[in-house]
Structure 1
Amino acid sequence: MTRLRVRGRTAVWRWLAVSAALVLGACSSVEKPKPTPLEPLSARIAGKQVWRASMGKPLHGMTVAVLGDRFMLASEDGRITSLDIGTGAVRSQVSVGAALSAGVGSDGRHAAVVTQNNELVVIDGQREIWRTRLNSRVVTAPLVAGERVFVQAVDRSVLAFDVFDGRRLWTVGRSGEALSLAQPGVLLAYRNTLLVGMGARLLALDPLTGAVRADSTFASPRGTNEVERLADLVGPAARSGEVVCARAFQVAVTCLNAERNAVLWSRPQGGFEGLAIDPEFVAGADATDRISVWRRASGDVAWTSDRLRYRGLTAPLSVGSTLVFGDSEGWLHVFSHDRGEPLLRLSTDGSAIVAPLVRSGLTMLAVTRSGNVFAFRPE
């Protein structure tokens, strides 16, 4: 199986340039647009940095786990670190002795990562309890839940292991797709169901057996070649109550009622980063970083913004009545979630925000390409 590896915006723009050159019959590539200059902003709400830590080189496609009073994250060199949410102090740190390809997943006791040698490694506290070799590369953080470890490979196949002894319990494969996307996919739990993105579909699996309970189409791939028809669901997905929303790469944003396995609405938007959701709105940015916010119930557009186009935006984060994006210059941009009014701009270290923003209570975390971790809190 051939795999399309898309490593952030540089690779996407390279792919767009190649596509344009083929269409136009030209030899030159398309120059990446310059980031939109930032407008002067007078802060309308207060917020401040409360601590800063260093984690080493971050993973491509890394994620941060939120576990009670800790943030847990893994660096490319194989270190898994837990940081105190209040102070940033290191609560624990363990190394698996190998470079990693996927971020960390944890249920609070067990943590799981995948190495660049395709080994799944499971930690109990600060002690490795088992590791096993996989047949495919992994870039999506494992999910640890219900005494199982769930792994999604680059080809979007899914494997389940016993968290205590590493026994493989079941495998669900993907077939019929010539290309897959080397970008973190959709893998999350909803009550007693495992939700998995497989191509442009969201499967609801029985976590005990791997049996398919429901199969929902999130997008209809279109185009004249395999690259244009690529429509894998990309993470992070967004969930609020029974509503789960996800992006199909370069095609659409779709929301599903996970209780009834019924698609609520789908809207065309060509992008490749994850989404945010709250009780009223769903938000995301397209491939040009044009922000769109839809009403959760209907999918109607609430507002759009071109203020941050081509600034390399992260998946957004919903925080109370605000919506926050990170960008490729290390800024955090805070908007009102109902009108899109700019409220606050926070700085980090000038390097790109490389992980989806996360929060615990009022503490928001950002990780930069320079390997620094910043915690912010409103005042």
Structure 2
Amino acid sequence: MHAASGWAANVPRALGRRAALLAVAAALGGCSLWGGGGSKPVPADLGANVAVLGVRQAWTARVGTSVGAPLEVHAAGNTVTVASADGVVAAIDARTGGDVWRVNLAEALSAGVGSDGKTAAVATRGNALVALDAGRERWRQSLGAQVFTAPLVAGGRVFVLSADRTVAAFDAATGRKLWTQQRPGEALILRQGGVLRAVGDTLVVGLSGRMVGLNPDNGTVRWEAPIASPRGTNDVERLVELVGRTSREGDSVCARAFQASVGCVDTVRGGVVWTQAASGSEGIHGDAEMLFGTESNGVVTAWRRADGTRTWTTDRLKYRRLTAPLLLGRSVVVGDDSGLVHLLSRTDGSPLNRLATDGSGIGAAPVVAADTLVAVTRNGAVYGFRPD
């Protein structure tokens, strides 16, 4: 995702066992993972906000709560598409904050939302894939397992990564299933969005700790690249999963393996370029020069994309639960569990500004559309911010 111009200018197992393991995964996905058995450490004092980079709130909107589902915000052109855990899906004009369309499916969602600007797709807790066209349900298909990763809509197809590590493709116009591909993996699954994206003519998927390139026409495997490998003696210790968001620049895709490492893959030859140990649970973002990530203890880290060299870290946000970052112009943008949106310098992590929302916590990684920074809170408020 490239920075908006205004910001740049300013700066197979038994069903019972699977259900039990999914429950453990849900707990893992929601825990703070500070380490130890004591209470959560006190977050670092932020001090006074000195607005080095001028930013104003341009608009607000509302969607239902995001609590209980790993939902993502999709940005394309001037539109952001958002979904709520209780089944509201809305396309919002990022220029005004007004609805392009909105629908209430009246059923709980487990993942969403994916879109190509025409078709939007979500997954329900009842294991249904639902495709929407301009706010009207076009079709739905039953799935064999829960889905925690937002569907990918691309090339006239809807791709789904299920919790049993099945990848499936459906015709976006009719809902006809085109193919499925299932891979074995470790027993435990994170109740968290994984890796599912298009790179040229390849579908790139995270399966356990491996980044896998599939032929989008038939699901056959083109290559596999390990970012992390299972370790330990029990299911929890051996948990390894790639998590979204990812950073793509040309043929390079970089991703995080949950609580293990970050790394970059050359998607042409299907080879790992580098990996570095890192203890984070959220995805990464960056550009052709740098990558940025948030660790589970609230430390923000920058790596050089070419070779993984760590260039800086900052503990200014230590012990705050942070979202995956968004690189926007000269800012690295992260949200926290108190509802603040932090803009840090891409050069050294120093603070550029701090934006307040409704205090309920930022519920998804921020996005940018129409020169507008968009953040969604856990209570369902949608905020649009623009540079002064």
**TM-score range with shorter-chain normalisation?**
over 0.9
Structure 1 segment 328-339 matched on structure 2, within 5 A? 328-339=337-348
* Distance 1:8-1:39 versus aligned 2 partners, 3 A rule: farther
Instruction: Name which of 60, 63, 69 aligns with 1:52.
Output: 60
| Residues 105 and 113 in structure 1, CA contact (< 8 A), matched pair in contact too | yes
| Corresponding position of 1:26 | none
| Corresponding position of 1:186 | 195
Instruction: Name which of 84, 89, 92 aligns with 2:93.
Output: 84
| Residues 208 and 240 in structure 2, CA contact (< 8 A), matched pair in contact too | yes
- AA aligned opposite 1:237: T
Distance 1:138 1:9 in 2: 16
| Corresponding position of 1:40 | 48
Displacement of 1:176 after TM fit?
4.2
The answer on 1:326 being equivalent to 2:345 is: no
| Corresponding position of 2:231 | 222
| Corresponding position of 1:148 | 157
| Corresponding position of 1:236 | 245
Structure 1 segment 4-43 matched on structure 2, within 5 A? 4=22, 5-7=24-26, 11-13=30-32, 29-43=37-51
- AA aligned opposite 1:12: C
Distance 1:176 1:216 in 2: 15
Displacement of 1:195 after TM fit?
0.3
* Distance 1:9-1:212 versus aligned 2 partners, 3 A rule: closer
Distance 2:27 2:93 in 1: 29
Under a length normalisation based on structure 2, what TM-score does the superposition of the two structures give?
0.91
Deviations 1:18-43 (A, max 9, x none): xx5xxxxxxxx422222222122322
The answer on 1:66 being equivalent to 2:79 is: no
Q: Secondary structure at the match of 2:358?
A: coil
- AA aligned opposite 2:100: R
- AA aligned opposite 1:41: N
| Corresponding position of 2:140 | 131
* Distance 1:90-1:322 versus aligned 2 partners, 3 A rule: same
| Corresponding position of 1:161 | 170
Distance 1:370 1:130 in 2: 29
Under a length normalisation based on structure 1, what TM-score does the superposition of the two structures give?
0.93
Q: Which runs of 5+ in 2 are unaligned?
A: 1-12
| Residues 150 and 161 in structure 1, CA contact (< 8 A), matched pair in contact too | yes
Structure 1 segment 108-119 matched on structure 2, within 5 A? 108-119=117-128
* Distance 1:68-1:8 versus aligned 2 partners, 3 A rule: farther
Displacement of 1:222 after TM fit?
2.1
- AA aligned opposite 1:102: A
Distance 1:334 1:8 in 2: 29
Displacement of 1:192 after TM fit?
0.8
Deviations 1:302-333 (A, max 9, x none): 10011111111100000011111110111111
Displacement of 1:361 after TM fit?
4.5
| Residues 157 and 198 in structure 1, CA contact (< 8 A), matched pair in contact too | no
Distance 1:8 1:335 in 2: 30
* Distance 1:135-1:275 versus aligned 2 partners, 3 A rule: same
| Residues 154 and 183 in structure 1, CA contact (< 8 A), matched pair in contact too | no
Displacement of 1:6 after TM fit?
4.2
Q: Secondary structure at the match of 1:169?
A: strand
Q: Secondary structure at the match of 2:276?
A: strand
Displacement of 1:147 after TM fit?
1.2
Please say which of residues 198-207 and 78-87 is displaced more in the overlay.
Answer: 78-87
RMSD (Å) for aligned C-alpha atoms: 1.7
The answer on 1:295 being equivalent to 2:314 is: no
Instruction: Name which of 339, 355, 365 aligns with 1:346.
Output: 355
Report how many aligned residue pairs link the two structures.
368
Higher relative contact order (CA 8 A, sep 6+): 2
Displacement of 1:259 after TM fit?
2.5
| Residues 6 and 12 in structure 1, CA contact (< 8 A), matched pair in contact too | no
Displacement of 1:56 after TM fit?
1.7
Q: Which runs of 5+ in 1 are unaligned?
A: 21-28
Distance 1:272 1:8 in 2: 13
* Distance 1:226-1:9 versus aligned 2 partners, 3 A rule: closer
Q: Secondary structure at the match of 2:31?
A: helix
Distance 2:166 2:258 in 1: 17
Structure 1 segment 276-287 matched on structure 2, within 5 A? 276-287=285-296
- AA aligned opposite 1:246: A
Displacement of 1:351 after TM fit?
1.4
Distance 1:325 1:270 in 2: 17
Distance 2:145 2:289 in 1: 39
Structure 1 segment 194-213 matched on structure 2, within 5 A? 194-213=203-222
Distance 1:133 1:95 in 2: 19
Distance 1:127 1:375 in 2: 25
Q: Secondary structure at the match of 2:222?
A: strand
Distance 2:154 2:93 in 1: 22
| Corresponding position of 2:6 | none
Please say which of residues 223-232 and 267-276 is displaced more in the overlay.
Answer: 223-232
Distance 1:141 1:244 in 2: 18
Distance 2:86 2:228 in 1: 36
| Corresponding position of 1:248 | 257
